[in-house]
Amino acid sequence: MSAIKVEKLAYSYVGLEQGQSVKVFEDLDLEIEQGTFVAILGSNGSGKSTLAKHFNAILLPGGGKCHVYGMDTADEELLIPIRRSVGMVFQNPDNQIVANVVEEDVAFAPENLGVASPMIRHRVDNALKQVGMYHYRTHAPHLLSGGQKQRIAIAGVIAMEPRCIVLDEPTAMLDPKGRREVMETVARLNKEKGITVVLITHHMDEAAKADRVVVIHKGVVRADGRPKEVFSDIDYMHELGLAAPETVELCHELNKLGYALPLDLLESEDCAQALYNALGGN
Amino acid sequence: MAPILEVRNLTHVYSAGTPFEHRAVDDMSFSVQRGEFIGIIGHTGSGKSTLMQHLNGLLKPTSGQVLLDGVDIHSDKKFTRQARFRVGLVFQYPEYQLFEETVYKDIAFGPKNMGLKAEEIDRRVREAAKLVGLTDAQLEVSPFDLSGGQKRRVAIAGVIAMEPEVLILDEPTAGLDPASRAGILENIETYRKTKNATIMMVSHSMNDVARLTERLLVLSGSKLAMDGTPAQVFTRADELLDMGLDIPDVTRVFLRLKQLGLPLEPVYTIEQAVAAVKKLKEGK
Ligand SMILES: Nc1ncnc2c1ncn2[C@@H]1O[C@H](COP(=O)(O)OP(=O)(O)OP(=O)(O)O)[C@@H](O)[C@H]1O
Ligand SMILES: Nc1ncnc2c1ncn2[C@@H]1O[C@H](COP(=O)(O)OP(=O)(O)OP(=O)(O)O)[C@@H](O)[C@H]1O
Ligand SMILES: [Mg+2]
Ligand SMILES: [Mg+2]
């Protein structure tokens, strides 16, 4: 079953002044299977956030269709079930803060989507623990540090328990440990609960953890496949303003010295082993 | 040489006397020489942004001092105002900095406040825009109609246009795609060299700070935990991991190679890694 199905999507932002408009998509097709973990990559302004906002009906197609779990996002009657199915973490967590107390903020979405109160308490506590912010539950969200706000936003979507989670650069402000924890949480939700995960990121090592990587460039899908396949075409990634994980970049540079290292080593252990063999260590 | 910035026993307590009282900066001392490129790393909530906002006088110390060119930043109002121009701060979230109707006006805001002439403002706006990779067409749109990464460029350009002696960047590359990240960081390095400016960059990217900076300040639990070269800091891998930080990816690969028995020195950047492999090959 497809979680998200975008067909012939067209979208333009219309400026305040008449006649000014920015065309983002002309004819985009993309299907995301229920239960998969998909990373979306692309340079600044390529259309990632615009696309993501179609997935829970914040934006409506200017042309073509967007279906989530078979529901047409253009059908106003379906707005609540659509928002209940697809939870979203926005690029800037500040825009997402709605309450003056952390736990109320995290409870906001499930409350609005009609989750029963006793359940909410449990979900909120659980979500805050998962992102390591339980201790801050009575704090004021706007007085938190950048990374702490980001964790609260992630807790908010975890507490909703949607079938599909869309995260727009959720780790941009997190320290290395926080990034690892968020990636583990996301992977767990995907593996254990079968939640579909759509992760927009500029961190190539995070995309490497996905089942599938989709690269968007100027509103067009330019690469789509397993992380190993997509990243090993490193020259193409560079051409699109992107990169490969550091281990692949390292092998690529070393190959210029005449080595023939494979370009699909995404883990440092695999990279070290291959290098060890190439350097005549064994 | 006299330091451009000196931080003496700096302490900052937020919301004093409330249940949320928090000592975000606890007795930090260090000094910064003109022309240095310093990286600041530390876990979420360790006090990085709080510390940075003291360096241009935006926050007032609870106790301790910040000296700019030997003078206390808060010694008199006029000096504090000048300090805002001499020490430019790019905020962690660019949205805090954007408020004008066009990108051009936004970038021009700082230089205009400094009382510069129109042609000089124009030159600076265009130069700064170029440095961060904004096109002429983008100068005419509203900053609110830009993508996340594009907004960040505007925020960086707005501070660079003031041509500060000290440029403080709080997570400048968060949200930038890999190519623009590399490009903008390179241009910032050029800015440092041509203007003999001082750069202080807060970052969660161990790869970036290893590649660019000559000195790292490591914050942990509101304290200054380490102050040294990237090589000195990254050899303390276990402590860094305990603090929620990390080592560069290539460093990890090379540590493993050494464990496997290859005679390799530690490296922190891909460039160093390539040089080390070359040397090993030639040595054989
Ligand atoms: N509210 C808006 N009004 C007008 N144009 C917009 C608006 N939001 C985005 N755009 C434009 O649409 C294009 C796509 O923007 P989008 O935010 O989807 O990019 P993105 O891929 O998410 O980029 P980033 O990596 O920087 O977050 C950009 O050219 C941007 O300038
Ligand atoms: N106005 C405030 N009142 C109370 N506590 C605050 C206030 N502002 C910040 N804090 C707290 O001070 C601590 C340090 O915050 P700061 O923003 O300096 O951290 P940081 O190192 O920049 O973190 P990050 O990497 O997440 O951006 C955090 O624990 C934060 O919750
Ligand atoms: Mg975006
Ligand atoms: Mg901060």
- The pLDDT tens digits for A189-240 are 999 999 999 999 999 999 999 999 999 999 999 999 999 999 999 999 999 9
Backbone angle region of A45, left / alpha / beta, with phi > 0 → left and psi within -120 to 50 → alpha: left
pLDDT at residue A18, as a whole number: 55
pLDDT at residue B166, as a whole number: 98
What chain B holds in terms of domains, given with CATH numbers, is 5-229 (3.40.50.300)
Interface test with A, best of B103, B153, B204, B238 (most A CBs within 10 A): B204
pLDDT at residue A280, as a whole number: 81
Nearest CA residue ID for atom 28, ligand 1: A45
What is the 3 state secondary structure string of chain A? CEEEEEEEEEEEEECCCCCCEEEEEEEEEEEEECCCEEEEECCCCCCHHHHHHHHCCCCCCCEEEEEECCEECCCHHHHHHHHHHEEEECCCHHHHCCCCCHHHHHHHHHHHCCCCHHHHHHHHHHHHHHCCCHHHCCCCHHHCCHHHHHHHHHHHHHHHCCCEEEEECCCCCCCHHHHHHHHHHHHHHHHHHCCEEEEECCCHHHHCCCCEEEEEECCEEEEEECHHHHHHCHHHHHHCCCCCCHHHHHHHHHHCCCCCCCCCCCCHHHHHHHHHHHCCCC
Nearest-CA distance from A115 to chain B in Å? 31
DSSP state of B129: H
Residue B86 Cβ inside 6 Å of ligand 2? The answer reads: no
Residue B146 Cβ inside 6 Å of ligand 1? The answer reads: yes
Q: Domain A2-244 class?
A: alpha beta
Residues of chain A with CATH 3.40.50.300: 2-244
List average pLDDT for each run of 10 residues in chain B, which is 284 residues long: 95 93 97 98 97 97 97 96 95 84 95 95 96 93 91 95 97 93 94 96 96 97 98 96 96 95 93 94 78
Judged by CB atoms closer than 8 Å, whether chains meet at A202 and B273 is answered as no
pLDDT at residue A97, as a whole number: 84
Best probe residue, ligand 1, of A50, A54, A200 (max atoms within 8 Å of C-beta) = A50
CA of residue B155 to ligand 4 center, whole Å: 16
Residues 6+ apart with CB under 8 A from A39: A199, A200, A201, A206, A207, A209, A210, A212, A213, A214, A227
Q: From CA B182, how far away is CA B169, in angstroms rounded?
A: 15
Residues in B closer than 8 angstroms to A133, CB to CB, are none
From first to last of the 282 residues of chain A, give the pLDDT tens digit. Answer: 999 999 999 999 987 655 678 899 999 999 999 999 999 999 999 999 999 999 999 999 999 999 999 999 999 999 999 999 999 998 877 777 889 999 999 999 888 888 888 889 999 999 999 999 999 999 999 889 888 998 999 999 999 989 999 999 999 889 999 999 999 999 999 999 999 999 999 999 999 999 999 999 999 999 999 999 999 999 999 999 999 999 999 999 999 999 999 999 999 999 999 999 998 865
Task: Nearest chain A residue to B273 by CA: give it.
Answer: A250
